[in-house]
Structure 1
Amino acid sequence: MTKTETPASAILHRDTRFVPKKAIGGKGSYIFLEDGTKFLDSTGGAAVSCLGHSHEQVNQAIKDQVDQISYCHSAFFGTQAAEDLAQFLVDSTGGKMSKLYVVSSGSEAVEAALKLARQYFLELPTPQPQRTRFIARLPSYHGITLGALAAGGHVLRRQPFEPLLAKNTSHVSPCYAYRGKWDDESDADYVARLAAELDAEFQRVGPENVCAFIAEPVVGAALGCVPAVSGYFPAMKAVCEKYDALFILDEVMSGMGRCGTLHAWEQEGIVPDIQTIGKALGGGYAPVSGVLIGDSIVQTMDKGTGVFRHGQTYQGHPVSCAAALAVQKTIQEESLLANVRAMGAYLEKQLRQRLGAHPYVGDIRGKGLFWGIELVKDKATKEPFDPKTHLSFLVQEKGLHPEHAISLYGCVGTVDGVRGDHIVLAPPYNVSAGEIDLIVDRTARVLADVFAGLKN
């Protein structure tokens, strides 16, 4: 079927002129398609399927929960599934976070985090109602709902809805060494410059007006797996503490083991006040996300109204909680974080060997099993391809062809929210070295085909 044909489907697909192939099964790192293709899911969808597909232990936990109770409203009842998941995750932080709020998607988690940050300042013994602003980074992405989209700084995703977005978020530069760090600048000097920029933004909008600074520990879709340089996050948190603002880490994409530790912040020497989690929390076995909350916020709420004025129908859904707990227990019991670190190092090595000298690969970066490849027109100048080329889309689409049969998560706006292309690789935590070899080989072949086509 060509993209110009009118497809027969009652679904509003992502593209109204294109009906995707149907997935009819999956096992491990593979998805089986209706046309017989055995498809290598090297991205876990959007960095979601951390255990691959059809993990028997997780499947059974879901079945058991459905047999017990599939739904009850959190305004009336709690469930053991939700309690067990919350205790597991609080314990996983060493008690540094004290409560969990469970919803269904990353966007919902960010919405809840933003509202919680605002309400915290209203619940203080001396309320601070003037705190209505947030500071985020360019070109970040924190979710697709209006509140989360407003917090993000991704131009293309925001553009159609700009008139609808709240104007209470401003944006500073990301920690993006490949493009942002000066040639003669040390990491320490780069961090100092970014900290000064954040401090200046607090001063510009009035430090007494800021609820929180929000950032991803490793930037996912917006920049393509960009980690911060050493010392960056402690410096950012110090600025927040200077002005009594909250420090929010969005770990929806980079957290829950994706970068080699269960929480990405464990590698940064800091603890957030509020943390959002999702994707690898439930590994795609059920829609689930959450907000982990520092005890000082919980205690402030408890001494105030005691009521978080934010509730959702599927909040704490028992099947989602059971699925998430089974995923997290599997990661723990099978020592998969060690495999994330080992296979992540192997993936980095293989990518650099195979693609490091590629004329159109500008940068290879990431952590754990979360790797991005930035594609550039000129390696020396770092000039991106013209957006009209639709390069990342071409790479993603080429990967879907039966001769390649691999997922390559293509994204645009890497440079400034409009220009720039990258692809993301995020294989499951139980991936093998042989599968890593296959991922790297197919990725290289896809890129070769795409660039050969561009020259013709």
Structure 2
Amino acid sequence: MSHVFPRHCHAQPPMAVAGDGCFLIDQSGKRYFDGSGGAAVSCIGHSNERVKQAIKDQVDQLAFAHTGFFTSDPAEQLADLLVANAPEGIERVYFVSGGSEATEAAIKLARQYFTERGEPQRRHLIARRQSYHGNTLGALAAGGNEWRRQQFSPLLIDVSHVDPCYEYAERQEGESLYDYGQRAAQALEDEILRLGPDTVMAFMAEPVVGATLGAVPPVEGYFTRIREICGKYGVLLILDEVMCGMGRTGHLFACNADNVRPDILCIAKGLGAGYQPIGAMLCSGEIYQTISEGTGFFQHGHTYIGHPVAAAAGLAVVSEMLDNDLIAQVQARGAYLHQQLLSRFGQHPNVGDIRGRGLFQGLEFVADRDTKTPFDPAKAVAKRFKKVAFEEGLICYPMPGTRDGKVGDHVLLAPPFIASEAELDGVVEILSRTLDRVLAE
């Protein structure tokens, strides 16, 4: 009998025993193509020699030094590398152990920034419906996933949620893409005015929405308008790139695709590529300077922030991406995968939308393609899709509640950057067989 507290008490997952490039291997020897990188984590595959050696070397030299007393060379080097490639104005890096910690830190930094500026009345955070920002209480409050929030709602801080930029389901008939994006962005200004402009501290959004919507990118002009609104009212723009960043969408930082400059930026998942738990909150020089010239102390912290072994792994991962031009490969392989998905499912009566950027692609399943009507939640399409795909040897990321947290189903794909075209062809084949089986059931 296992004493591990699993994610689901009524499921017995196989034992993973090895990783080989794009594949994971269980105790029986069965190989599974990691078509979602776990949860968009394993971006450079499961057996990268450079990263493994960096971890071993760092453990031999220094395993741990608490940041209350020391900094470390790998943390300093990784921060330098990230800032050198970050959007304009980003100058400081605060290391954490994962995405939820990064978004929690961002919320707290936004609040402390305004208290140290003498604006303690700025307390409101605005985010979007159908977003996901993590599972700790602050991050969960920021997220707009009703299913995840529901039972914990009495514990959550009050966060406003405005419209997402979800063109497939929310653009009106006859409305241009640009006009739709401006209308979606206007929801932010409307909410700022409703709350009172001098009471809002930040707006948080994913540049490409991940788990909750299934790789939904913004329409052109949306984030340009969002940036304008934030600037107009002195509201900080926090971009959550935990899932879509670190090369996943074809740019090291996902926001570069939309030429938007955040004040605070959150990364994780692909930063450590699964080799170590690590994330980071990056902030502008202006925010850092406000703290530095004020109390000089960010009132936040965790035991393992800036962990030397995790930082060494992150440094090796990002260096591997940059030195081997894997970001360009993501663009090329992403375009190939998207085209193969269109070719196979573009006219499928139960695939309503095919979307994404880079190697971050999603399919939204519908009962009726013409009316965009979702499946009845009782059919549990996403749950069944995950189970059948796994039986077929594919790890993917289906989710229910795509439309409003209750109805709608999609599958998210986030394969390793090193995947070959032949391997991606195999993914499409398994997706097709899986969908046939699920629909037949």
Q: TM-score range by the shorter chain?
A: over 0.9
The structure 2 residue matched to 1:152, chosen from 123, 143, 151, is 143
1:102, 1:347 → 2: CA distance? 33
**Secondary structure at 1:287's aligned position in 2?**
coil
1:164, 1:174 → 2: CA distance? 24
Asked if the contact 2:127–2:144 (Cα under 8 Å) also holds between the matched residues in 1, the reply is yes
Residue 342 (structure 1) aligned with residue 332 (structure 2):
yes
Aligned-residue Cα RMSD (Å) equals 0.9
2:201, 2:77 → 1: CA distance? 31
Residue in structure 1 matched with residue 386 of structure 2 by the alignment:
396
1:340, 1:9 → 2: CA distance? 39
Residue 134 (structure 1) aligned with residue 125 (structure 2):
yes
Asked if the contact 2:88–2:261 (Cα under 8 Å) also holds between the matched residues in 1, the reply is no
**Secondary structure at 2:395's aligned position in 1?**
coil
Residue in structure 2 matched with residue 15 of structure 1 by the alignment:
8
Q: Which amino acid in 1 is paired with 2:113?
A: Y
Query: What does 1:102-113 align with in structure 2 at a 5 Å threshold?
Result: 102-113=95-106
Asked if the contact 2:87–2:261 (Cα under 8 Å) also holds between the matched residues in 1, the reply is no
Shift of 1:94: 6.0
Asked if the contact 1:399–1:408 (Cα under 8 Å) also holds between the matched residues in 2, the reply is yes
Shift of 1:192: 2.2
Residue in structure 2 matched with residue 181 of structure 1 by the alignment:
171
Q: Which runs of 4+ in 1 moved over 3 A?
A: none
1:227, 1:195 → 2: CA distance? 14
1:320, 1:310 → 2: CA distance? 19
Asked if the contact 1:43–1:409 (Cα under 8 Å) also holds between the matched residues in 2, the reply is yes
2:396, 2:23 → 1: CA distance? 14
Instruction: Give CA deviations for 1:142-190 in whole Å, capped at 9, x if unaligned.
Output: 00000000011100000010111111x1011000100111121112211
Shift of 1:301: 1.1
Residue in structure 2 matched with residue 231 of structure 1 by the alignment:
221
Shift of 1:95: 5.3
Q: Which moved more, 1:291-300 or 1:192-201?
A: 192-201
The structure 2 residue matched to 1:78, chosen from 59, 71, 74, is 71
Instruction: Give CA deviations for 1:77-98 in whole Å, capped at 9, x if unaligned.
Output: 1100100000000001265310
Residue 437 (structure 1) aligned with residue 425 (structure 2):
yes
Asked if the contact 1:370–1:424 (Cα under 8 Å) also holds between the matched residues in 2, the reply is yes
Query: What does 1:30-429 align with in structure 2 at a 5 Å threshold?
Result: 30-93=23-86, 96-124=89-117, 127-167=118-158, 169-401=159-391, 404-429=392-417
**Secondary structure at 2:333's aligned position in 1?**
helix
Q: Which amino acid in 1 is paired with 2:156?
A: L
**Secondary structure at 2:355's aligned position in 1?**
strand
What TM-score do the two structures reach when normalised by structure 1? 0.96
1:130, 1:245 → 2: CA distance? 13
Q: Which amino acid in 1 is paired with 2:421?
A: A
**Secondary structure at 2:213's aligned position in 1?**
coil
Instruction: Give CA deviations for 1:288-316 in whole Å, capped at 9, x if unaligned.
Output: 00001111101111111111000110010
Shift of 1:233: 0.4
Asked if the contact 2:364–2:411 (Cα under 8 Å) also holds between the matched residues in 1, the reply is yes
Asked if the contact 1:408–1:443 (Cα under 8 Å) also holds between the matched residues in 2, the reply is no
Asked if the contact 1:147–1:165 (Cα under 8 Å) also holds between the matched residues in 2, the reply is yes
**Secondary structure at 1:227's aligned position in 2?**
coil
Asked if the contact 2:182–2:221 (Cα under 8 Å) also holds between the matched residues in 1, the reply is no
Unaligned 5+ residue runs, structure 2? none
1:18, 1:9 → 2: CA distance? 12
What TM-score do the two structures reach when normalised by structure 2? 0.99
1:350, 1:388 → 2: CA distance? 30
2:178, 2:388 → 1: CA distance? 41
Count, aligned residues: 441
Q: Which amino acid in 2 is paired with 1:422?
A: H
Asked if the contact 1:102–1:316 (Cα under 8 Å) also holds between the matched residues in 2, the reply is yes
Asked if the contact 2:25–2:31 (Cα under 8 Å) also holds between the matched residues in 1, the reply is yes
Unaligned 5+ residue runs, structure 1? 1-7
Shift of 1:393: 0.7
2:290, 2:133 → 1: CA distance? 26
